[in-house]
Structure 1
C-alpha cells in the first residue's frame, strides 16, 4: 500500500487548509468543541454546510454527475482529515451521506432532480426511520406497515432513537409492505414528509440530559406512492447499501487523533496533586501513548480501505471493523477526558446549548464542562449503526470465515 501523496494531492491538501483557515469561523469551531452530542445542532451544521456549499464542496462524497465534487478517494480522505484536524464540525450525515447515495443509486429521475438539490441547499433536513421498539439491531423484525391505497401508501407504526426528528422536515424510513415471505423480502424504502397529518414526535432525553433522539409515531400517515424509492420489497437491499455507507467510507482516525490531542494539551494545565502537572505523570503519559497507538492503527486500516476503493474495490465488510474500533476508541478518549478533569469533569449542566451568549459559565474550563456529557452520550457509539455485537458477527462471518 503506497501512502505517499502525489504532488497534486499535496496541492489539494494545501488548498483545503487555506479554505479552513479563512472559512472555519472561531464561533463554529468553539460551538463544535462545546457540543457533547454525536451530531452537532442544526445551527452549527447549517452554518458550516453553507460555507462548504458556496465553495462547491458540500457534496464531496457524491459523483460529479449528481452535483458532487467528483473527488478521488484520496481527495475525500484528505478533506475529511484536514477538517477533523482543524476542529470543524462533522457534517450531519443523514441527508448528505446516507440518503443521497440511495437516491442517486436507486431513485427515479424525478426523485434525483427534486431531492438532491434540496439536500445541498439545506431546504430539507432529514432523519432516519429504521429502528423500532423491539426491532433495533434486528431490522428484519420491523413492524411499521405501509398498505397501498390507490396512489398512496397508508403507514402505521413507530420508529425509535430517531436522531434529530424534532428538527427534520423529512424522514426516510423502512416499512413493511408484504408479510407473505421471508421477513427481509417484505421491506420497502419510503420518504415521508414530517408535516404530514398523523406524524408525531416525542422527545427522548439521554443520560446527559441532551435531546438528540426521539420516538416517531405514524398513525394513518398518507404518503404518495411516488415517494417509494426503488421497488416494493427492495428495502432490505437498499438498507444494506445505506448501512455500508454509514459504517464506512469516512475516516474516523483523524477526528479521534484531534480529540486526543485536545485532551493531551489540556493535561499540561491540570495539577497532578503532587506539585506538578498531569501531562508529566508517567501513568498518564502511558495511557495517552497507548490510545494514540490504537488510533494510529485504525488510521492504517482506514488507509488500506482507501487504497482498495482507489483501486476500484468496494469497502465491503471491512467497514464493520472500522466502525467497531472507532466506537470503542471514541469511548476510551471520552473516558480519558473525564479522568483528566477529576471532580470538575463530573459537572452536568442542564442548560443547552453549552455554547453561545446564553450558555452557562463553565466550572474550571469548557473542556471540563462538556466532558461528562460527552462521555455519557458516547455510550451510543457502540449501539448506533449496528451494535458492537452485530459488527463482530459480520467480521466473524465475512472476514474470518467462521
Structure 2
C-alpha cells in the first residue's frame, strides 16, 4: 500500500484466497459460533483442539508468516501479515490473548527475540514458538507494583552460572497451560528503579515454581499467579540482552504489545459489535426493539466510527513497522483506543440486555437455563460473558491511566 491507497497488492489478495481456503477446512462452522469456546473454557477438549489447530497452522505455513523463513516463518511482507490477521479474525479462529495458545510467543516474545535475542536463542526458541511446542506466558505484573512495572520486587540473585529467582508474578495470561515464562526480575536491588532489571526466560517446570489459577468474575481461568521459591535459572541462553539492562528490552516488548494486532482487533471487535446489533434487533425496550431507540443507534455509530479509526491506525502501524520504525509511545494511543472501544461495545451490549444481562450464570457457574445459548441464538450469553471478561483487558498491557501518562509525557511533552 502506498500513500492513501488502502488496497492490497495482487500478491496479498492471492494469499487471502489461500488462507481463506485453509481456514474453511480448519475452522468448521460450529467453532465459529460466538459461544463455542466460551462453553468449553477450561476444558481438556478446548486445550486439545487448540493444540492440534496450532500444529496444523504451523505445518501448513500460516504461523509467523512475516517471520524469517530460517526460523519457521514465510518471510512475507507486512501486507501478507495484515491479510493473515484479518482472515484469522474473520474466521473466528482461536487466536489472540484469550484463545491463542501461541499468542504471547508469536505476538510479543518472538518480535522481541528477533531484535534483542542471541543467534542461539533465535535458532532454538523461535521455531518452537511457532509450532506450539513451547507455550509462553508473560511475567511482568506483580501484586505490590500494579501498573508500576519499574516497581517490581521479584529478585534474581547471581550464584555462579545461575540466577536464583524468588518472588511472585500475577495476572498472568495462559499461566495454566504455559511451559515457560518471559519475565522481568531485579538483579541489582541497589540500582535506580529502571536499572538493575533483567529480562529472563524461565522454565516453569523447574523446582520451586508454583502456579495457581485465578478465577475471573466471568468464570474464566484465563489468568494465574506464579510463586518462585529459589528457582535456579541458568544464565546461559535465558538472559535476553544483558544482565541489569532489561528495561530497554521490556520497553520494546511493551510497544509491541500495545500495538500487537490492531488489524485483527478491528475485525474481531466488528464481530462483537455485530452481535450487539443483532441483540438490539430482538431485545425490546419500552415497547420498541432496542435498535429503534436513538441513543442506542448513536452509541452503535460511535463504536463503528472508533472501529474504523482502529483500522486506519492498524494500517499506519503496519507500514511504519515495515519501514523499521519503532512505534514507541505512539503505541499507547492505539492501546487506549482499542481498550476503550472494546469496553464501549461490551457496555452497550449489557445496557441493551438490561436485567437479563445479570442472569448469566447459576452460583456454580453453569449458564442459566432460562437464557441459555439455545434460547437466545447465542447472542445474549456471549454478550453477558464479554461484559464481565473485558474488564481485565483494560488493565492488560498497561492501564488507561498509564497510557495517558505516557502520551502526555512522551508524545505531547507536557510538564509533570
User: TM-score, normalization: structure 1?
Assistant: 0.89
Contact 2:175 2:223 in 1 (8 A): yes
| 2:68 corresponds to 1:57 | no
* Offset at residue 44 of structure 1 (A): 5.1
Structure 1: how far apart are the matches of 2:130 and 2:35?
Answer: 21
Match for residue 394 of structure 2? 382
Distance in 1, matches of 2:312 and 2:76, equals 21
Aligned-pair distance for 1:363? 5.5
Structure number with the bigger relative contact order (C-alpha 8 A, sep ≥ 6) is 1
1:223 corresponds to which of 228, 233, 236: 233
By how many angstroms is 1:105 displaced? 2.6
Task: Output one character per residue of 1:232-273: Cα deviation in whole Å (capped at 9) or x when no partner.
Answer: 012111111111111114222222112112222333333345
Per-residue deviation at 1:347?
2.6
Task: Indicate the residue corresponding to 2:72 in structure 1.
Answer: 67
CA contact (8 A) 1:321 1:395 kept: yes
Partner Cα distance (2:241, 2:261) in 1: 25
Alignment partner, residue 314 of structure 1 = 326
Q: Distance in 2 between matches of 1:317 and 1:42?
A: 35
Contact 2:373 2:380 in 1 (8 A): no
Residues 35 and 378 of structure 2 are in contact (CA less than 8 Å); yes or no, is this contact kept in structure 1?
no
Between 249-258 and 375-384, report the one with greater CA deviation: 249-258
More deviation, 23-32/324-333? 23-32
Deviates more, 1:279-288 or 1:374-383: 279-288
Supply the distance in 1 between the matched residues of 2:125 and 2:233 (Cα, whole angstroms). 16
Determine the structure 2 residue equivalent to 1:357: none
Structure 2: how far apart are the matches of 1:309 and 1:113? 23
* 1:94 equivalent in alignment to 2:107: no
**1:372 lines up with 2:359 in the alignment:** no
Q: 1:190 to 1:309 in 2, by over 3 A?
A: closer
Asked whether 1:237 is paired with 2:240, we answer no
Moved more, 160-169 or 100-109: 100-109
Measure the CA separation in 2 of the matches of 1:271 and 1:42: 38
**1:1-400 correspondence to structure 2 within 5 Å:** 1-30=4-33, 34-35=37-38, 42-43=47-48, 45-91=50-96, 92=100, 93-226=103-236, 227-251=238-262, 252-272=265-285, 274=287, 276-349=288-361, 364-400=376-412
**What SS is found at the alignment partner of 2:199?**
strand
The alignment's TM-score, normalised by the length of structure 2, stands at 0.87
Q: Distance in 2 between matches of 1:81 and 1:24?
A: 15
The answer to whether the 8 A contact 2:279-2:380 is kept is: no
> For the Cα contact (< 8 Å) 2:339–2:393, is it kept in 1?
yes
* Cα separation, partners in 2 of 1:31 and 1:259, compared to 1, 3 Å: closer
Q: 8 Å contact 2:283–2:353 — kept in the other structure?
A: yes
2:34–2:379: 8 Å Cα contact kept in structure 1? no
1:13 Cα offset (Å)? 2.3
Paired with 2:42 and 2:63, the residues of 1 have a C-alpha distance of 17
- Does structure 2 conserve the Cα–Cα contact (< 8 Å) formed by 1:344 and 1:363? no
Structure 2 CA distance for partners of 1:61 and 1:317, relative to 1, 3 Å: farther
Structure 2: distance between partners of 1:266 and 1:203 = 33
Give 5+ residue unaligned stretches, structure 2: none
Per the TM alignment, residue 351 of structure 1 is displaced from its structure 2 partner at its CA by 6.1
Deviations 1:165-214 (A, max 9, x none): 12212111111111232121201111112121111122222122322212
SS of 2:111's equivalent? helix
Q: How big is each residue's C-alpha offset from its partner over 1:17-64, in whole Å with a ceiling of 9 and x where there is no partner? A: 223223222243237655399999644542432332121111124233
Number of matched pairs: 396
Q: Which moved more, 1:323-332 or 1:366-375?
A: 366-375
Aligned-pair CA distance for 1:338: 1.8
Where does structure 1 lack aligned partners over 5 or more consecutive residues? 355-359
Q: Cα distance, 1:362 vs. partner?
A: 5.6
